[in-house]
Amino acid sequence: MPAAPLTRRDPALHPEQPWFVLSAARHYAVKASENPAISHFYRFDMAPNAGMTLAIPDGCVDILFDCDTTRPMARVCGGTLEARSAELKEGHHYFGVRFAPGVMPDFLDVMAEELADREFSFLDVIPGARPAFDQIVENGLFSRQVALFNHYFTQRLTRPLSAVTSQSLRAIRGQRGNIRVDQLAALTGYTSRTLQRQFRQDTGLSPKAFSRIIRCQSALSCLHQPASPACSDLALDLGFSDQSHFLREFKKLVSTTPLDYQRRIIHEAYRERLCYH
Protein backbone atom coordinates (compact mmCIF):
# COMPACT_ATOMS: atom_id res chain seq x y z
CA MET A 1 0.00 0.00 0.00
CA PRO A 2 1.36 3.47 -0.86
CA ALA A 3 2.70 5.48 2.03
CA ALA A 4 1.29 8.87 2.97
CA PRO A 5 2.75 11.91 1.19
CA LEU A 6 5.48 13.93 2.87
CA THR A 7 4.20 16.53 5.31
CA ARG A 8 5.51 19.66 6.98
CA ARG A 9 6.69 17.48 9.85
CA ASP A 10 9.63 16.49 7.65
CA PRO A 11 12.87 18.43 8.16
CA ALA A 12 12.46 21.89 6.69
CA LEU A 13 13.93 22.33 3.24
CA HIS A 14 13.03 25.26 1.05
CA PRO A 15 14.34 24.55 -2.47
CA GLU A 16 15.88 27.61 -4.06
CA GLN A 17 16.61 28.87 -7.55
CA PRO A 18 18.94 31.77 -6.69
CA TRP A 19 19.69 32.82 -10.26
CA PHE A 20 15.96 33.41 -10.83
CA VAL A 21 15.93 35.77 -7.83
CA LEU A 22 19.02 37.62 -9.01
CA SER A 23 17.55 38.01 -12.52
CA ALA A 24 14.33 39.61 -11.28
CA ALA A 25 13.75 43.21 -12.33
CA ARG A 26 12.43 44.16 -8.92
CA HIS A 27 11.17 41.99 -6.10
CA TYR A 28 10.90 38.23 -6.35
CA ALA A 29 7.56 37.41 -4.72
CA VAL A 30 7.19 34.18 -2.74
CA LYS A 31 4.09 32.65 -1.18
CA ALA A 32 4.11 29.47 0.91
CA SER A 33 1.51 26.81 0.18
CA GLU A 34 -0.94 25.35 2.68
CA ASN A 35 -0.57 22.03 0.89
CA PRO A 36 2.72 20.25 1.74
CA ALA A 37 2.97 18.88 -1.81
CA ILE A 38 3.84 22.40 -2.98
CA SER A 39 6.93 24.10 -1.61
CA HIS A 40 5.85 27.58 -2.69
CA PHE A 41 4.48 29.82 -5.43
CA TYR A 42 6.61 32.59 -6.93
CA ARG A 43 6.32 35.54 -9.25
CA PHE A 44 8.83 37.89 -10.87
CA ASP A 45 9.52 40.09 -13.87
CA MET A 46 12.68 39.28 -15.78
CA ALA A 47 15.10 42.22 -15.74
CA PRO A 48 15.65 43.93 -19.12
CA ASN A 49 19.41 43.31 -19.02
CA ALA A 50 19.54 40.10 -17.00
CA GLY A 51 21.27 38.04 -19.67
CA MET A 52 21.41 34.27 -19.32
CA THR A 53 19.71 32.80 -16.23
CA LEU A 54 20.56 29.38 -14.80
CA ALA A 55 18.32 26.71 -13.34
CA ILE A 56 20.07 24.60 -10.72
CA PRO A 57 19.23 21.16 -9.32
CA ASP A 58 16.62 21.27 -6.54
CA GLY A 59 14.83 17.90 -6.82
CA CYS A 60 11.57 19.66 -7.70
CA VAL A 61 9.01 19.77 -10.48
CA ASP A 62 8.23 23.36 -11.49
CA ILE A 63 5.32 24.68 -13.51
CA LEU A 64 6.31 28.01 -15.01
CA PHE A 65 3.85 30.38 -16.70
CA ASP A 66 5.14 33.08 -19.05
CA CYS A 67 2.31 35.62 -18.83
CA ASP A 68 3.35 37.61 -21.90
CA THR A 69 0.35 39.46 -23.35
CA THR A 70 1.11 38.51 -26.95
CA ARG A 71 2.46 34.96 -26.71
CA PRO A 72 1.74 33.44 -23.29
CA MET A 73 2.98 29.94 -22.61
CA ALA A 74 3.57 27.51 -19.77
CA ARG A 75 5.90 24.59 -19.27
CA VAL A 76 6.36 21.74 -16.85
CA CYS A 77 10.00 21.45 -15.82
CA GLY A 78 11.58 18.39 -14.27
CA GLY A 79 14.47 18.95 -11.90
CA THR A 80 17.86 19.41 -13.55
CA LEU A 81 20.92 17.33 -12.69
CA GLU A 82 23.44 20.14 -13.18
CA ALA A 83 23.26 23.91 -13.60
CA ARG A 84 21.91 24.74 -17.04
CA SER A 85 20.50 27.67 -18.98
CA ALA A 86 16.86 28.55 -18.34
CA GLU A 87 14.92 30.07 -21.22
CA LEU A 88 13.58 33.22 -19.58
CA LYS A 89 12.85 36.29 -21.69
CA GLU A 90 13.82 39.81 -20.72
CA GLY A 91 10.91 41.95 -19.60
CA HIS A 92 8.45 39.03 -19.36
CA HIS A 93 6.27 38.40 -16.33
CA TYR A 94 6.49 34.90 -14.78
CA PHE A 95 4.33 32.99 -12.32
CA GLY A 96 5.60 29.68 -11.00
CA VAL A 97 4.63 26.71 -8.85
CA ARG A 98 7.47 24.77 -7.22
CA PHE A 99 6.53 21.37 -5.84
CA ALA A 100 8.26 19.93 -2.78
CA PRO A 101 11.41 17.90 -3.49
CA GLY A 102 10.54 14.38 -4.64
CA VAL A 103 6.83 15.11 -5.25
CA MET A 104 5.36 14.12 -8.62
CA PRO A 105 2.09 15.94 -9.47
CA ASP A 106 -0.66 13.43 -10.16
CA PHE A 107 -2.41 15.55 -12.80
CA LEU A 108 0.53 15.25 -15.22
CA ASP A 109 0.10 12.79 -18.07
CA VAL A 110 3.78 11.87 -17.99
CA MET A 111 5.87 9.45 -15.96
CA ALA A 112 8.39 10.69 -13.42
CA GLU A 113 11.30 9.11 -15.30
CA GLU A 114 10.25 10.89 -18.50
CA LEU A 115 10.16 14.29 -16.79
CA ALA A 116 13.53 14.21 -15.02
CA ASP A 117 15.92 16.78 -16.53
CA ARG A 118 13.39 17.62 -19.27
CA GLU A 119 10.60 20.10 -20.02
CA PHE A 120 7.16 19.66 -21.55
CA SER A 121 4.47 22.04 -22.70
CA PHE A 122 1.90 22.53 -19.92
CA LEU A 123 -0.98 22.00 -22.33
CA ASP A 124 0.57 18.85 -23.83
CA VAL A 125 0.90 16.93 -20.56
CA ILE A 126 -2.20 18.09 -18.65
CA PRO A 127 -5.44 17.01 -20.34
CA GLY A 128 -8.14 19.69 -20.25
CA ALA A 129 -5.84 22.36 -18.85
CA ARG A 130 -6.73 25.14 -21.32
CA PRO A 131 -9.25 26.95 -19.03
CA ALA A 132 -6.73 26.98 -16.15
CA PHE A 133 -3.95 28.20 -18.43
CA ASP A 134 -6.05 31.01 -19.93
CA GLN A 135 -7.19 32.33 -16.57
CA ILE A 136 -3.78 32.16 -14.89
CA VAL A 137 -1.84 33.95 -17.66
CA GLU A 138 -4.54 36.62 -18.06
CA ASN A 139 -4.74 37.48 -14.36
CA GLY A 140 -2.15 39.94 -13.11
CA LEU A 141 -2.74 39.49 -9.39
CA PHE A 142 -0.36 37.06 -7.66
CA SER A 143 -2.87 35.95 -5.03
CA ARG A 144 -5.47 35.31 -7.72
CA GLN A 145 -3.05 33.22 -9.77
CA VAL A 146 -2.33 31.11 -6.70
CA ALA A 147 -6.05 30.70 -6.01
CA LEU A 148 -6.73 29.69 -9.62
CA PHE A 149 -4.00 27.07 -9.59
CA ASN A 150 -5.29 25.64 -6.32
CA HIS A 151 -8.85 25.63 -7.65
CA TYR A 152 -8.00 23.61 -10.73
CA PHE A 153 -5.34 21.23 -9.43
CA THR A 154 -5.64 20.62 -5.67
CA GLN A 155 -7.71 17.48 -6.08
CA ARG A 156 -4.94 15.68 -8.00
CA LEU A 157 -1.89 17.29 -6.51
CA THR A 158 0.23 14.37 -5.35
CA ARG A 159 0.98 11.08 -7.05
CA PRO A 160 1.07 8.35 -4.36
CA LEU A 161 4.51 7.20 -3.29
CA SER A 162 5.58 3.66 -2.51
CA ALA A 163 6.49 2.96 1.12
CA VAL A 164 10.20 2.56 0.35
CA THR A 165 10.38 5.87 -1.54
CA SER A 166 8.49 7.73 1.16
CA GLN A 167 10.82 6.41 3.86
CA SER A 168 13.87 7.16 1.74
CA LEU A 169 12.78 10.74 1.05
CA ARG A 170 12.32 11.37 4.74
CA ALA A 171 15.73 9.94 5.53
CA ILE A 172 17.51 11.88 2.78
CA ARG A 173 15.92 15.12 3.86
CA GLY A 174 16.58 14.38 7.51
CA GLN A 175 20.28 13.82 6.82
CA ARG A 176 20.46 16.80 4.43
CA GLY A 177 21.55 14.48 1.64
CA ASN A 178 24.43 12.97 3.60
CA ILE A 179 23.37 9.33 3.37
CA ARG A 180 24.38 6.37 1.19
CA VAL A 181 22.15 3.94 -0.67
CA ASP A 182 23.26 1.03 1.50
CA GLN A 183 22.28 3.04 4.59
CA LEU A 184 18.87 3.73 3.07
CA ALA A 185 18.45 0.02 2.32
CA ALA A 186 19.27 -0.90 5.91
CA LEU A 187 16.93 1.77 7.23
CA THR A 188 13.96 0.82 5.05
CA GLY A 189 14.46 -2.94 5.06
CA TYR A 190 14.43 -3.18 1.26
CA THR A 191 17.26 -4.37 -0.96
CA SER A 192 19.33 -1.68 -2.67
CA ARG A 193 18.10 -2.88 -6.04
CA THR A 194 14.43 -2.64 -5.09
CA LEU A 195 14.95 0.71 -3.41
CA GLN A 196 16.69 2.23 -6.42
CA ARG A 197 14.18 0.88 -8.93
CA GLN A 198 11.16 2.10 -6.97
CA PHE A 199 12.71 5.45 -6.06
CA ARG A 200 13.47 6.22 -9.70
CA GLN A 201 9.99 5.15 -10.75
CA ASP A 202 8.39 7.44 -8.16
CA THR A 203 10.64 10.51 -8.47
CA GLY A 204 12.46 10.16 -11.79
CA LEU A 205 15.83 10.31 -10.01
CA SER A 206 18.13 7.78 -8.41
CA PRO A 207 18.48 7.99 -4.61
CA LYS A 208 22.13 8.97 -5.08
CA ALA A 209 21.30 11.82 -7.47
CA PHE A 210 18.51 13.07 -5.23
CA SER A 211 20.78 12.96 -2.16
CA ARG A 212 23.45 14.89 -4.04
CA ILE A 213 20.90 17.58 -4.93
CA ILE A 214 19.56 17.87 -1.39
CA ARG A 215 23.08 18.18 -0.01
CA CYS A 216 23.80 21.05 -2.39
CA GLN A 217 20.51 22.75 -1.54
CA SER A 218 21.38 22.39 2.15
CA ALA A 219 24.68 24.14 1.45
CA LEU A 220 22.85 26.99 -0.28
CA SER A 221 20.56 27.37 2.70
CA CYS A 222 23.55 27.64 5.03
CA LEU A 223 25.29 30.18 2.80
CA HIS A 224 22.19 32.39 2.91
CA GLN A 225 22.37 32.66 6.69
CA PRO A 226 23.75 35.94 8.11
CA ALA A 227 26.48 34.04 9.97
CA SER A 228 27.26 31.29 7.49
CA PRO A 229 30.03 28.83 8.38
CA ALA A 230 33.41 28.67 6.67
CA CYS A 231 33.59 26.40 3.62
CA SER A 232 35.78 23.90 5.45
CA ASP A 233 33.27 23.65 8.31
CA LEU A 234 30.33 23.42 5.93
CA ALA A 235 32.02 20.66 3.92
CA LEU A 236 32.62 18.69 7.11
CA ASP A 237 29.10 19.30 8.44
CA LEU A 238 27.49 18.06 5.21
CA GLY A 239 29.66 14.94 5.02
CA PHE A 240 31.92 15.76 2.07
CA SER A 241 35.21 13.90 2.00
CA ASP A 242 37.11 17.20 2.04
CA GLN A 243 36.78 20.85 1.12
CA SER A 244 37.92 20.28 -2.45
CA HIS A 245 35.15 17.72 -2.97
CA PHE A 246 32.59 20.23 -1.68
CA LEU A 247 33.91 22.99 -3.95
CA ARG A 248 33.78 20.75 -7.04
CA GLU A 249 30.23 19.62 -6.31
CA PHE A 250 28.99 23.13 -5.57
CA LYS A 251 30.48 24.59 -8.72
CA LYS A 252 29.04 21.80 -10.87
CA LEU A 253 25.54 22.24 -9.46
CA VAL A 254 25.45 26.01 -8.88
CA SER A 255 27.96 27.16 -11.53
CA THR A 256 30.14 29.18 -9.17
CA THR A 257 32.22 28.70 -6.03
CA PRO A 258 30.66 29.13 -2.56
CA LEU A 259 32.81 32.19 -1.85
CA ASP A 260 31.92 33.90 -5.14
CA TYR A 261 28.28 33.00 -4.56
CA GLN A 262 28.33 34.64 -1.11
CA ARG A 263 29.94 37.76 -2.53
CA ARG A 264 27.33 38.05 -5.24
CA ILE A 265 24.26 37.60 -3.03
CA ILE A 266 25.64 40.29 -0.71
CA HIS A 267 26.55 42.65 -3.56
CA GLU A 268 23.18 42.25 -5.26
CA ALA A 269 21.15 42.39 -2.03
CA TYR A 270 19.65 38.93 -2.41
CA ARG A 271 17.59 38.99 0.80
CA GLU A 272 16.17 42.42 0.03
CA ARG A 273 14.87 41.16 -3.32
CA LEU A 274 12.64 38.53 -1.67
CA CYS A 275 9.10 39.64 -0.96
CA TYR A 276 7.02 37.21 1.11
CA HIS A 277 3.22 37.14 0.80
Q: What digits encode the pLDDT tens for the residues 72-88?
A: 999 999 999 999 999 89
Asked whether residue 23 is domain-assigned, the answer is yes
Report residue 143 CA to chain centroid gap. 21
The 10 Å Cβ neighbour count of residue 233 is: 12
Looking at residue 246, which CATH number applies to its domain?
1.10.10.60
Dihedral Cα 208, 111, 79, 132, nearest 10 deg: -150
Q: Are residues 129 and 170 both part of a single domain? A: no
How much helix, strand and coil, in percent to the nearest 5, is found in the chain? 45, 15, 40
Whole-number pLDDT of residue 33: 95
Asked whether residue 1 is domain-assigned, the answer is no
C-alpha to C-alpha distance for 139 and 148, rounded to whole angstroms: 9
Domain count, the chain: 2
Whole-prediction pTM value?
0.92
C-alpha to C-alpha distance for 146 and 173, rounded to whole angstroms: 26
Q: Is the pLDDT of residue 27 over 50?
A: yes
More confident residue, 9 or 137: 137
Q: Is the pLDDT of residue 18 over 70?
A: yes
Whole-number pLDDT of residue 99: 97
* Mean pLDDT of the chain, nearest integer: 92
Whole-number pLDDT of residue 227: 81
Q: How many CA atoms lie within 13 A of 77 on its CB side?
A: 26
Q: Are residues 138 and 185 both part of a single domain? A: no
Decide: helix, strand or coil at residue 217: helix
Mind listing the pLDDT tens digit for each residue in 163-192? 999 999 999 999 999 999 999 999 999 999
Q: Are residues 167 and 213 both part of a single domain? A: yes
Report the pLDDT averaged over residues 53-71: 96
Q: Is the pLDDT of residue 11 over 50?
A: no
Q: Are residues 56 and 106 both part of a single domain? A: yes
The pLDDT-based confidence of 140 (bands split at 50, 70, 90) is: confident
Asked whether residue 276 is domain-assigned, the answer is no
CA angle 103, 107, 111 (to 5 degrees): 65
Q: Is the pLDDT of residue 243 over 50?
A: yes
Whole-number pLDDT of residue 50: 77
End-of-domain residue from the set 110, 135, 156: 156
The residue type at 43: R
Lowest mean pLDDT of 65-69, 189-193, 231-235, name the range: 231-235
Q: Are residues 98 and 150 both part of a single domain? A: yes
Whole-number pLDDT of residue 8: 33
Question: Of 50, 74, 53, which is closest to residue 62 (Cα–Cα)?
Answer: 74
Which domain does 79 fall in, by range? 18-156
Whole-number pLDDT of residue 12: 57
Counting residues of the chain whose pLDDT is more than 90, the rounded percentage is: 87
Counting residues of the chain whose pLDDT is more than 70, the rounded percentage is: 95
Decide: helix, strand or coil at residue 66: strand
